[in-house]
A and B are shown apart, each in its own frame.
Chain A
């Protein structure tokens, strides 16, 4: 069965430090991959997506993610975090064979230390 794993429930990072959020998936074909961000009390906003081509994708707010087929991973990175990045981050896999439904990870809550 398809699944998405975000191994870290919480991550605490100092402001200005680098960030990497992990995402691993289980899917029999090349997936469509997404990262979304959710601020408290808000809906989900798309950060970036991977459909095909260059495996390093750039998103909004200075985020990037790298698709590694051999590791079934799509980790999210940012070189220097800002206090406004504190939020919950969700990785999702789109299933082309299932009408592009999304399978979601449980989320990683990012806490920024001043």
Chain B
């Protein structure tokens, strides 16, 4: 019973490198979300996808791109990583007005 699976769990990058964070859900949810979590700031929405084929910016989209590959998968890409993007990244999924289900997070450090 996997729920929301994020890979990798940990990653260290150098400034300027690129990488893609992967997220997959097996609950047949329509909506998927990417958040970042920084100390004392709660969760901030980066991008979301209300349904397959659509994506929209959240509160802090700069420096990120997303792809809703299919109904199950929603990836987050950092094209040129910056130290300010050091954070814990969470993927979540839900249906309409139902609670969001979260993955265990990706801990990303950018040197």
Which residues of A are at the interface with B, using a C-beta cutoff of 8 A?
4, 9, 32, 34, 36, 42-46, 49, 51, 90, 94, 96, 99-102, 104-107
Contacts and interface: CB of A to CB of B under 8 A. Distances in A.
B76 to A, nearest CB: 15
Chain A binding surface SS class: strand
B95 to A, nearest CB: 9
B31 interface: yes
A31 to B, nearest CB: 11
B61 interface: no
A106 B42 contact: yes
B64 to A, nearest CB: 16
A2 to B, nearest CB: 11
Contacts of B4: 43
